[in-house]
Amino acid sequence: MNKTQRYISCGVMLAAMAYSAAAVAHDKHGGYSAGEPGDPKKPAREIVVSMNEMDYSPAVIEVRRGEQIRFVIRNAGTEAHEFLLATTAENLKHGEAMKKNPDMEHDEPNGLRLAAKKSGEILWKFSKAGTFEYSCLIPTHRELGMTGKVIVK
């Protein structure tokens, strides 16, 4: 496998997988399981999330349905980590895909990957009630504790 193939973007990968019956991050209508990308023109509550070896702080976040959150994400760890906002079922499926393609890059409205000591932001509108999660799907990280919960009331 050459470098270009290995670094195939996650979006491309997921689009390909959608054709093979298992739609992962995005449904047929281009939706996301945990809500929708935020609108930068609207107000947002800021929540700082630190990614550590191997967990997140905070590990539980509560939001109101319809609330827009600006996640300011800092990788305080010593290796690369991800923050992928979705349902648990979707993240588990996505995790399986990543075992086959661990270098899959993430830079999408609902998630990103950050190298050690880097920061990034996700602007997200929690338009659906329910319990969602953020997780790091780099192989073994989720199992070692890298999941957090978002409760949308």
Q: Does 138 bind Cu ion (CB under 5 A)?
A: yes
Task: Note whether 105 and 137 are within 8 A (CB).
Answer: no
35, 69, 81, 152: which one binds Cu ion (CB under 5 A): 81
- Among the listed ranges 2-10, 29-37, 124-132, 133-141, the one in contact with Cu ion (CB under 5 A) is 133-141
Task: Note whether 44 and 63 are within 8 A (CB).
Answer: no
State the Cα–Cα distance between residues 17 and 41, nearest whole angstrom: 33
Q: Does 25 bind Cu ion (CB under 5 A)?
A: no
- Among the listed ranges 12-20, 63-71, 108-116, 141-149, the one in contact with Cu ion (CB under 5 A) is 141-149
Closest to Cu ion by CB, 81 or 93: 81
Q: Which residues pair with 148 in a beta bridge?
A: 134
Q: Which residues contact 41 (CB under 8 A, 6 or more apart)?
A: none
Tokens of 146: 């890298």
In the shown chain, the binding pattern of residues 35 to 74 toward Cu ion, with x for contact by CB under 5 A and - for none, equals ----------------------------------------
